[in-house]
A and B are shown apart, each in its own frame.
Chain A
Amino acid sequence: MAILEVQNLTKKFGGLTALNDVSFKVGEGQIHGLIGPNGAGKSTMFKNIAGFYTPTRGDILFEGKSITGQTPSRISMSGIVRTFQETTLFQEMTVFENVLVGTHNRSRTNIFSAIIGLDRLIQQQARTSAMQALEFMGLEDRKHQLASELPLGSQRALAIAIALVSKPKLMLMDEPFAGMNPEETRGMMQLTRKVRESGVTIVLVEHDMKAVMGLCDQLTVLNFGTLLAGGSPEQVRNNPDVINAYLGGSHQV
C-alpha cells in the first residue's frame, strides 16, 4: 500500500511553474529516489511535501489522509520528518541537546508541569530515546561537544539522528551525500539502510547516481518540473527519455 501519494501536484511562483501536474506513489518501507538534473523541481517537491511550501494545485496524501497545505510542525506530528540540504543543526547547543529537541513531539509539556516537574517521567523517556538515537548513529561519545565542533560526516549523522529520534514513519532526506568523498558515501549508505531496516520509509533527493542506484527500490525522475519516468532503477536506467535528458546534462549514468 502506498504510504505517500502525490496527485497532480502543481506549484507556481508568480509566472514561473516549478512543478507541473506531477503524480507518484511511495511504497511503505521502501527507499524511494527523487532524481533529475538541476532545476528539475526536486527540492520544490520536497518542500511541498514537508509543508514549507503550499501547493498551487493537486493533493498530497499520507497514509490516505490529505496533508496538503499543513504547517511543517503539524505535518511532523503525523510522522513525516525531513533533513536539510545544507547541514542544519542547533550550532550552539550540544550534540545531546540537539537530539533531545528532536523528541519534541513525543514529550510535549506545558509550562506549569515543566516548572513543577510533573513531566519528569516523559522527559526521562525522552532522554533515553535520545541516547538510543545517538548510539544508533554512533555519536554517543561526542555527546557533550557543540554541534558546530563536529566534522562533516558526524554533522550529517547528527541531522539524521535528530529526525530519527521523533520515530517518524517517513523521512525526507535532502541530498545527504552532497560533498562527501567515496569512503564517507559508503558509510552514509550503510546508515541509510540501517534507518530503513528500523521501519522508516525514506524519500531521497540526491545527485550522486552511484548512491541512488545502490540504495533505491523505486525512482521518480523529474525534468523541468514534469514527471519524466518512474519505476525500478533498472527500468529507469534503460529508459531512452532519461538517457537523453541526462546525456544532455553532464552526469554519467
Chain B
Amino acid sequence: MELFLQSIVNGTIQSGFFALAAVGLVLIFGVMGVVNFAHGELVMVGAYTVWFLHAQHNTPFLITIVIAISLVTVIGMLMEKFLFRPMRDDPLGGLICSIGVLFILQVAATLVGGDGPSKQVPPPFEGTMVLFDFLRIPYQRLFSIAVSIAALGLLWHFLTHTKLGWALRAVSQDREAASLQGINSNRISMIAIAVGAAMAGLAGALMAPLTNINPHMGHNVIITAFIVTIVGGVGSLSGAVIASVLYALYHTFVTTYFNGTVATISGLLIMVLVLIIRPTGIMGHRVSE
C-alpha cells in the first residue's frame, strides 16, 4: 500500500515538469502553427544555466532560476524574430530551422560543460519530508512541484483574465479570424514564444537539481511533450496540463510495477490509440485544413 501512495507522489511530482514543457510546446504550436523541435533544448539550456551559475559559481539558486528563465526567453524571442517570422507561411521550413537551433544549442552546451559524464547540481533544499512515517517527499521536489503549480496558475490567470491572454487564445483558435479583428500576429507570436520559452526555461531550472544534465537531455523532454500535446489535444492548454498529469501517473505506475521500456512502449501505443478514436486528441479542436 505504501508503494501505491509513494507512486502517486512520484507521479504528481513528475507531472510538474511534463506540464511546463508541454504547455510551452502547445502555446508555440497553437499560436504560431510551427513545431518547435528545439523545445527540449530550451529546457536543457535552463538546466545548464543553473548548473553553470549555481553549481560552478555559487550564485544563489533562486537568482539562477530567474536568470535561466530570462536567458531561455531571450533565445526563444531571437528564434521567433530571425527564424519563425520569415518562415511564417512555411511551417515545414520553421520545423527545419528549429532543428538547426537544436544542433547549435547542443554544441554550445558541450562547449560550456565539456564532454565528461552528466553534470550534477547539489539540491539547494536539503532533506526529505516524511508523512505518516512512510511517504517520503524530498524538499527539493516539493519546491519544484509547488513552483510548477504556481507557474501554471499564473499562466492560466494570464490567459483568462488579461487582454493579451485573450488575444493569444484567439490566435491559437483561428489565426485568420484573429488577424481580421486587427490582432497584430507578429506581436502575439513574440509574446507566445516568450511565454512558452519561459516555461521551458523554468522546467529546466527546476529539473536541474533532480536529474542528469547533459547536452542530450532535451531528447526525452521533447518526446514526452509530443505525447502529452497529442493526447491532450493540440491547441488546448488545459488538455496539455490534464494529459501531463495522467501520463506522468501512468508512466510512474507502469515503471514501478513493470519496467521502464514497457511503460514507454505502452505510452506510445496509447497515444496512437487516442489518435485513432479521436484524431484531434481529448480536448483538441480540428486543426483548420
A–B touching in complex (CB under 8 Å): no
Q: Please give the residue numbers on chain A whose beta carbons come within 8 Å of chain B beta carbons, in ascending order.
A: none
Q: Please give the residue numbers on chain B whose beta carbons come within 8 Å of chain A beta carbons, in ascending order.
A: none
